[in-house]
Structure 1
Amino acid sequence: MADRGTEPRVLATEKALDLIREIQQDHPDILFHQSGGCCDGSSPMCYPANEFMIGDNDVKLGEIGGVPVYISGSQFEAWKHTQLIIDVVPGRGGMFSLDNGREKRFLTRSRLFGGGEACVIPGIGGSQTR
């Protein structure tokens, strides 16, 4: 989702892209929502697209492997200077996430934008991109 001179807000490692393709064999139409806590901590949660309601304040960060990635508006405010990198590590996924039961799970890594990098999402500053 990079515009001229901007860095994407969300990236995926090859391991994450491989797991996305694996999940899509069972669930072709999926999305990610960066969890903000509660039951599954701050894991990136992967859902069937038709079973997750995008909220009015959710922000679309971009896409990884053609799959949209969203975050709540309040969490976006805390992380707006951060690029998210979706990776995979051994372990159990979030209890409601499609990576659960595969003995590997999605994990969010991050890095701060800096050095004059633009971190713009079209539509932010009044209305979110969905």
Structure 2
Amino acid sequence: MTERIGITKAASAVIEELRERFGPLMFHQSGGCCDGSSPMCFEDGDFKTGASDVLLGHVDDCPFYMSKDQYEYWKHTHLTLDITKGRGSSFSLEIPMGIRFLIRSRLLTESELQQLKEEGLL
């Protein structure tokens, strides 16, 4: 199965630290402007998902959701969750740590796209 989202070691370490403090976590990327287009980390269930959200996959056992509109733009890409120094202005749990999550992306390969089509996921 083709994975749509991955994670760096640095982001994984932050998730582990946040999980120790807050328990189970989840991510959502809305595709809004400014920091709204950054992935945001919440305690699992604190962000209510609905019919306008797509479950993209899991990173370190945390569900990662994306708004359908954003997914339509990025459905041909593989995303990697990473971190960078600097405070964002969102409600994401990592913000007080002086870092923020971000997404790095690459286009899916032809074989990855074909596999997603065969699995009915594209």
With the length of structure 1 as denominator, give the TM-score of the two structures.
0.83
Matching residue within 91, 96, 101 for 2:96 = 101
Distance in 2 of aligned mates of 1:68 and 1:57: 15
Q: What is the match of residue 31 of structure 1? A: 26
Gap regions ≥5 residues in structure 2? none
Distance in 1 of aligned mates of 2:13 and 2:30: 21
Distance in 1 of aligned mates of 2:49 and 2:4: 18
Matched AA of 1:90: K
Instruction: Check if 1:20 corresponds to 2:15.
Output: yes
Matched AA of 2:47: F
Matched AA of 1:36: G
**Cα contact 1:93–1:101 (8 A) shared by 2:** no
Q: Name the SS for the 1:120 alignment partner.
A: helix
Distance in 1 of aligned mates of 2:45 and 2:36: 23
Matched AA of 2:103: T
Instruction: Check if 1:120 corresponds to 2:116.
Output: yes
Q: What's the offset of the Cα at 1:70?
A: 0.5
Matched AA of 2:4: R
Report the number of matched residues: 120
- Identity, % of aligned positions: 44
Q: 1:123 to 1:34 in 2, by over 3 A?
A: farther
Instruction: Check if 1:79 corresponds to 2:68.
Output: no
Structure with bigger helix share is 2
**Structure 1 runs (4+) greater than 3 angstroms displaced:** 121-125
With the length of structure 2 as denominator, give the TM-score of the two structures.
0.88
Computed over aligned residues only, the root mean square deviation of the Cα atoms, in angstroms, reads 1.9
Higher mean C-alpha deviation, range 33-42 or range 23-32: 33-42
Distance in 2 of aligned mates of 1:24 and 1:59: 23
Instruction: Check if 1:63 corresponds to 2:63.
Output: no
